[in-house]
Structure 1
């Protein structure tokens, strides 16, 4: 019977036999592997990329028709002009103390963002596209300020296994023909480029879907607000800081 299983199914079966700590380590290894395999376009990497992607999708904790790509894209009704202006004002304040983190600057929450992170309006939006997802209460402002900053292909940690990503600001200097963008990377090696406008929101299963942001150019600026969600009933210690 085992011989008929794919490598992705075998990895998922292995996950079921492990302790919670070991499961977390395996998920980390799979996530790192996905990030490394995405940019490798060699034919020899295709089988490995598909196996890792299949295992992650089998382990997806959410009941959705397709864990790949976006589950939602648009501007939700609760995101009024006034609320968007509040986020923009808050990101300016948070940005003063944002700290370098990987290839961007990180600012943790703020009064407005933290309130919305646990609001019924945001919960209802998420529930309408991904049932049984629960807010972690974690909101983060991400700032891309320095030329070359971006995020390489990766899988998010469990605290953002479901990511609600809101574009707040994208300053594009004259002469930049292809601005920085969010990318979804698929098991077959194809990619989807997503150029988001300020106020636009996307929801995707960041814990299973490989994604990245291409580097910003000189003079370009990108500011994003993200909200983390976890599976309903998951052990909080696994998802909260």
Structure 2
């Protein structure tokens, strides 16, 4: 048995990823994400529970390993959660207004709607305040010029468990609206070897997290529920 083959599977996947091209690593990430997501929503129930649990843990623990140590010490994947200092009240209000005005442009992407590249959102994504805030916490980052308004405003919209593409490796997600007051849909993060993290953001609050490394989902909306968010993508250097 070779030294590499005697390593735990998670470590072997990490070593493999270091030998892959960017495109190949994205494909590996997609396969691991699909495996984790499928197990989380109940696929493979015909398999013994212990085997399903081990497979899920392997997929989840392998995802951060794909980045060759270029992530800070990984716990939940959350960098920040709360009312962020990099947005003023006026900026939140302006993005709120722009997201409403651009709803008619939104295109369906799987089970939610997206408007990309609105002028103010794109400008805010390049904000020096956000860049400084992120750099202080995770080291230098590059904006990926991805700025999306997200809409979940019909019954049954949401996103199944997944990880994000490279453009949203580090995701700054800000809540612009979630009504009514009694909410059903929520964001759930599934960090490896930990309990799920259930997140409800208030208006103007942000979540900054490593969206390419931790499996997450938006649970489905119900009748009368409406959610609008703005999402900015960054890449750690």
TM-score (norm 1): 0.88
Which residue of the other structure, out of 174, 178, 185, is the alignment partner of 1:166?
174
Counterparts in 2 of 1:121 and 1:201: CA distance versus 1, 3 Å: same
Aligned residue number for residue 185 of structure 1: 190
Distance in 1 (alpha carbons) for counterparts of 2:38 and 2:51 = 13
Instruction: Give 1:215 shift.
Output: 0.8
SS at structure 2 position matched to 1:125: helix
Aligned residue number for residue 211 of structure 1: 216
Following superposition of structure 1 onto structure 2, how do residues 36-185 of structure 1 map, counting pairs within 5 Å? Answer: 36-40=38-42, 42-60=49-67, 62-172=70-180, 176=182, 178-185=183-190
Aligned residue number for residue 33 of structure 1: 35
8 Å Cα contact 2:25-2:66 kept in structure 1: no
- What is the CA deviation profile of residues 197-236 of structure 1, one whole-angstrom value per residue up to 9, with x for unaligned ones? 010001000001001111111000000100001122xxxx
SS at structure 1 position matched to 2:223: coil
Instruction: Give 1:103 shift.
Output: 0.8
Distance in 1 (alpha carbons) for counterparts of 2:160 and 2:55 = 19
Instruction: Give 1:189 shift.
Output: 6.7
TM-score (norm 2): 0.90
Distance in 2 (alpha carbons) for counterparts of 1:20 and 1:70 = 24
Task: Work out whether 1:10 is the aligned partner of 2:15.
Answer: no
8 Å Cα contact 1:172-1:179 kept in structure 2: no
8 Å Cα contact 1:6-1:51 kept in structure 2: no
Counterparts in 2 of 1:165 and 1:205: CA distance versus 1, 3 Å: same
Give 5+ residue unaligned stretches, structure 1.
233-241
Distance in 2 (alpha carbons) for counterparts of 1:123 and 1:202 = 15
Distance in 1 (alpha carbons) for counterparts of 2:23 and 2:90 = 43
Distance in 2 (alpha carbons) for counterparts of 1:117 and 1:98 = 19
**RMSD of equivalent CA atoms:** 1.8
Following superposition of structure 1 onto structure 2, how do residues 187-202 of structure 1 map, counting pairs within 5 Å? Answer: 187-188=192-193, 190-202=195-207
